[in-house]
Structure 1
């Protein structure tokens, strides 16, 4: 076994399609825009952890949802990693020179917004304090241990009021608040747990409704 806590993840990124099942996602009906999110992995006493953001509650699009830092590709971005790093700098004040890019997951189509979203995987080599750089967009920043995300009691099947489902994650923060992750972000976290060799058996039949404030 690799001594590198991210070793299996790095190996898995040579063929990430094996762990990412895009067949459950409907294709985007017209020419999609491209977007990138950053799956940023740092190391702490409890092992690897990943950075998540909580969107402001009064945003028009996806208010209150928990996501990976990221956004739409802009013309000046040379590639998708550049998009992910730029967005993370704008959202959580990430110093981009502290990140080593490890690879990418296959793009995931998001029909509701007409985006193809690519998760860019980064190793946070020199961690520093993060913050909500733009409070109008980001309400909070969470650094979540992978062991918390992988714990069976954290996992569920999230059920949207319209009936469609996704992987789900429910866990508490240091402030005592409960976080509910569903949709695209949960789909990507589910794939990353599998690629990194962190996935544990969990009860798929545990179905929880998506809270109204996370819709």
Structure 2
């Protein structure tokens, strides 16, 4: 069992005060409720976060790295329960070893019409993880925070539409879109961010275009 680190406590304390960009603010009366689990832990290479690579055969964001998560079902009782359930279904993570610290403000994804609540948690007792739902998940990775904040792994990614945002190249994954935006903001709020060259712009690779729906 490991103790919650100070940086994660600070992030949880600030979670509901994080600013939400106008384009991510949920509209009144629209959107399907969803939740994702931002599960931080102490791994073999220091603090890390659990990410999945979605299946290219899947219906939701095919081929895109993401936090485990999905829709909030009526029987879930709320976003926390939904995030834990989805993480267990997708990665096998045992929810009994997860300590939930709080939630971030609800964010709206226009393309999928989802109102997503990121749930911040500490992996108090890590369990083995794998692609537990092959139809939805290709692989599961515990990505070290040190690799995410390394300036060499960070850049601005520009989509064919001209829209650009933060991105990470870690563990053979191109992390972009919603997941990259949330990571960018939460790493900064936790005081872990390092200065990086935001003017370094990379075009979306052709092989990733099938995962353009964010």
Q: Under a length normalisation based on structure 1, what TM-score does the superposition of the two structures give?
A: 0.89
Residue-by-residue CA offset, 1:15-41 (whole Å, 9 max, x unaligned)? 325444423536548611111000001
- Counterpart in 2 of 1:153? 152
The runs of at least 4 consecutive aligned structure 1 residues that moved more than 6 Å come to none
How many Å separate the matches in 2 of 1:198 and 1:79?
29
CA distance in 2, matches of 1:50, 1:20: 22
Q: CA deviation at 1:11?
A: 2.1
Give the match for residue 114 of structure 2: 115
Output the aligned Cα RMSD: 1.8
Q: Is the 8 A contact 1:28 1:110 kept in 2?
A: no
1:190 to 184, 200, 204: 184
* Aligned partners of 1:70 and 1:83 also within 8 Å: yes
Q: Deviations over 1:163-185 (max 9, x none)?
A: 111210012x2xxxx21011100
The runs of 5 or more residues in structure 1 that have no matched partner are: none
* Alignment check: 8 A CA contact 1:28 1:114 kept: no
**TM-score normalised by the chain length of structure 2:** 0.90
Bigger share in helix: 2
Q: What secondary structure does 1:15 align onto?
A: helix
Match of 2:40 in 1: 41
Name the counterpart of 2:102. Answer: 103
- Aligned pair 1:124/2:123, yes or no? yes
> In structure 2, how many angstroms separate the alpha carbons of the residues matched to 1:48 and 1:97?
20
**2:15 aligned partner:** 16
Partner SS for 1:101: strand
Partners of 1:64 and 1:191 in 2: CA distance = 23
Aligned residues: 207
How do 1:61-210 and structure 2 match up within 5 A? 61-171=60-170, 173=171, 178-210=172-204
